[in-house]
């Protein structure tokens, strides 16, 4: 059974403009007969997370998400789409007060995560005493994804796709956007987080820079199987997801 002091926040507020979503949020796209986000909800429940430990952050067409999941999870409303860190914060403060560790997962690219992969990440986080842990993936074709840059001095940073240099684009390790945070640190840090210059929003990768600046322990752990990560941002990626699911 999962520790009752761990919660999970699943980001499910996005519109999915590039995928042509008109009357449903992106995470409710039908993937082999059920919504994209339902796969990760099922996975965290298999790990042992209970209803009160699972918070879906909703926004655009949120009634569609609530209609599907009903009272099987709790919800937080992101009234303004101000980025992934803002969404994570919105969900985090909604979780019960006793929860001190929070797993943050993107609802649109986590349909292939295995119980074992998330279990391993949670164990590494707990054993290391990290304030922040990030799940990364090594991909053959990282395309337009943020890169994980590992420096010789041991520092690790995530460079958002909007900022990557030509050299950094050769790196195949990417951020999955799946983080684990010590809740108290994140909630105290977020009000001081700077906006992403080119986007005017608050991105989760910035938290890695913040944890380094605070000289707190952190770790970046690659998925054993990079194929467990698949971002669904384009129609081509959605077709790939259907192919992998076998429909």
Q: Which domain holds residue 129?
A: 6-139+176-245
Residue 156 lies in a domain: no
Q: Write out the chain's pLDDT in tens, 247 residues.
A: 578 899 999 999 887 666 666 788 889 999 999 999 999 999 999 999 999 999 999 988 899 999 999 999 999 999 888 889 999 999 999 999 999 999 999 999 999 999 999 999 999 999 999 999 999 999 998 878 889 999 999 899 998 887 888 888 899 999 999 999 999 999 999 999 988 776 678 889 999 999 999 999 999 999 999 999 998 888 888 899 999 988 8
Residue 31 lies in a domain: yes
Kindly report the CATH number assigned to the domain that includes residue 132: 3.90.550.10
CA–CA distance, 197 with 203 (Å, rounded to integer): 10
Contact 109, 230 (CB under 8 A): yes
Residue 162 lies in a domain: no
| DSSP category for residue 41 | H
Residue 182 lies in a domain: yes
Residue 152 lies in a domain: no
The total number of structural domains that make up the chain = 1
pTM attached to this predicted model: 0.94
Residue 236: is it exposed, middle or buried by C-beta count within 10 angstroms (0-12/13-18/19+)?
A: exposed
| DSSP category for residue 56 | E
Residue 146 lies in a domain: no
The dihedral built from the CA positions of residue 61, 65, 70 and 75, taken in this order, carries a sign that is negative
Residue 109 lies in a domain: yes
Residue 79 lies in a domain: yes
């Amino acid at each position: 059974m999962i520790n009752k002091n761990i919660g999970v926040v699943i980001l499910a507020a996005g519109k999915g403009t590039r995928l042509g979503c008109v009357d449903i949020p992106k995470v409710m796209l039908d993937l082999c007969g059920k919504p994209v986000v339902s796969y990760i909800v099922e996975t965290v429940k298999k790990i042992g997370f209970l209803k009160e430990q699972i918070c879906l952050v909703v926004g655009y067409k949120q009634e569609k998400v609530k209609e599907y999941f009903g009272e099987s999870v709790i919800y937080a409303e992101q009234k303004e789409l101000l980025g992934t860190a803002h969404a994570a914060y919105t969900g985090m403060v909604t979780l019960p007060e006793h929860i001190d560790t929070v797993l943050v997962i993107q609802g649109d690219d986590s349909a292939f995560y295995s119980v074992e992969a998330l279990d391993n990440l949670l164990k590494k986080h707990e054993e290391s005493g990290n304030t922040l842990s990030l799940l990364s993936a090594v991909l053959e074709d990282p395309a337009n994804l943020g890169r994980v840059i590992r420096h010789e001095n041991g520092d690790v940073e995530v460079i958002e796709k909007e900022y990557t240099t030509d050299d950094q684009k050769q790196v195949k390790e990417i951020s999955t956007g799946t983080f684990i945070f010590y809740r108290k640190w994140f909630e105290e840090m977020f009000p001081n987080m700077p906006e992403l210059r080119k986007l005017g929003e608050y991105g989760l990768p910035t938290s890695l820079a913040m944890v380094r600046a605070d000289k707190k322990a952190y770790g970046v752990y690659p998925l054993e199987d990079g194929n467990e990560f698949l971002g669904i941002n384009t129609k081509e990626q959605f077709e790939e997801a259907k192919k992998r699911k076998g429909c």
